[in-house]
Chains A and B, each alone.
Chain A
Amino acid sequence: MAATRSGWRYGLLAALLLAGGADAAVLPEDRADLLYHSYDGGGVEVSGPSLLVRKSLGDSVSVYGNHYVDTVSSASIDVLTTASPYADERTEQGAGVDYLRDGTTLSLAYTNSDESDYKADTVSFDISQDMFGDLTTVTLGYSQGNDKIGKSNDPAFAATATRQHYRVGLSQVISKNMLLALNLETITDQGFLNNPYRSVRYLDPLSALGYSYEPEIYPATHTSDAVTLRARYYLPYRAAVYGEYRRYGDTWGIDANTWEIGYLHPWRENWLLEFRLRQYSQEAADFYSDLFPRQQAQNFLARDKELSTFSSRSLGVTVSYDPGLHWNFIERTAFTLSLDHIQFNYEDFRDLTKAATPGSEPLYEYTANVLQLYVSLWY
C-alpha cells in the first residue's frame, strides 16, 4: 500500500515537471489583516488576535508573516469531570515565501506553535503549476511537523510526535462562470498522539460512582486520507454560490463526511454578505468507548469526545464593508464581521455531570458561538 501511494506521488511530481505550455500565474495580493477571534462553547472560551501581513518583493517574490494568539479558559466537560478548570495561552508564529517563475510557484513556509505544555514546529513546501492555457492549476505539497509534548502537573513528562503531510491539489476552470477544486491530503503521525491529561472510565463495582478512571492509551501511529471537492458558481446578477464536500478516513477507524454550502451577495457598492451552512458527521475510532467494561479492557483506550460518534451543524454569516478609503500607499480597506453558531450532538459520549446509573447518563450536547472581527488593508 505504501509503495502504491509513493508511486502516484512520484507520478504526479513527474507529470508536473514535464507539463509545459503554461501562461504566467500571479502572486497573492499585497495585504494586511488584523483579526480578533472568539470561540465560546461547551465551557471553553478561546480568544485572541491574529495578524497576517503579505508583501511582494519585485515581480517574482512574495513574503508573509503571521502572528496568532489563543487565550484559553477551559471548564469543558472533560475538565469538570476529571480535572480542574485551567487557563493557558498558545502563540503561533509563521512566515513564508512564494517564488513565481513563468507558470510555476514555489512556496516555503515555517510555523512555530508554543504553549506551556505543547510546542510544535512545521515546515511546508508546495509547488504549483498553471497549465492548459491557465485553465488548470496543479499543486503538490509536503509538510513535516515535530511536536514536543509536556504535562503541566508532571515536569518529568516529555514526549515527542512527528507529522508528515502529503498534498495534491487540482483547480479547474469549468466554464466562464464555474470553478472546481479537488484536494487530497494524506497525513501520517508517529509518536505520542494522545492527550496526556485525558482519562477513560471503566465499570468499577468498588467505586461509589460505579465507575473509575484510568489514563487513555492511543496507538503510536496514525494515518489519514482526506479528499475535498469544491465548486463555485457565478450567478448572472453578480453573486456566487458554492458547495464543498470532504470524505475522510483513517487507520483508527474514524470515517467522516463534511458538507458546506454558501451564498455570497454583494449589496450596493460597498457591502458583501455571505451566508453558509455546514454539516459534519463522524463514526467513532475503533478503540473509543464511553464506558469500558473493566480496567485495561483492551490495549488501546480512548474516551476523547473528538474520537466519538457525533455530528455538528453550523450556520454562519459574514458582513464585509468597504468604506472606499484609500490614502497614501493604501489602495483599499475592508471591515468584516463574521459569526458562526455551531450545534454539537454526541451519540456515544455521555454527560457525567448528570448523576445516573453508569452508562445511562444523558448524551452530551452543546452549542458554540464563533466570532471574527477583522480589518483588511490592500497596498
Chain B
Amino acid sequence: MTTYRLQVNGKQHAVDLDPDTPLLYVLRNELGLNGAKFGCGLGQCGSCTVLVDGKPAMSCLVPVSSVGTRAVRTVEGLGSSDKPGVLQQAFIDEQAAQCGYCIAGMIMQATSLLERTPQPTDAQIRAHMAPNLCRCGTHMRILRAVRRAADVLARTPGGAQR
C-alpha cells in the first residue's frame, strides 16, 4: 500500500492503495464518486471516461500511480441534479438518456471537445464521441445534446471556459 495524493474536481485527497489500482476504482470506491462507470476494463467502451489534465482518459486503464499531480475531473465536478452544468442541462433538455449508464462518460468526452473546439461541426462531434459506446441507441439525442450545449456556450460570455 502506498499513499497517493490526488486532485479530483478541485479537491485534494490522500488515499492508501496498491499502486496498480486503476483510477476508476479509486474514484468509485475510495472517493465515493459514482459518475465514472465500469464498462469493460479494457478501454473499449468509454463508460469510465474522466478528464486527466483536461484530456479524456479511460480511467479503467490508468493506474493511480501514474496520475501524479495532474488534475482529475469527473461528471460530479460539472454540476449536480439541483444545479446541472451546461452539458448536463443540455442532456436533460434533450432527454438524452435511456438506461444512462454510458452518459457520464459521454458528458466528460463531450466536455473535452467543447473546451478545445467550442463550435464543432456535426462531423467533429461524431468523430470525437466515437470512442464511447451506447447500447440503448441514444446516439441521436446525445449528438443533439452536445450541439445544444455548444450553442448555449456560444451565447454565454466566457462560456467556452465553463
Report whether chain A binds chain B. no
- A interface with B by C-beta (< 8 Å): none
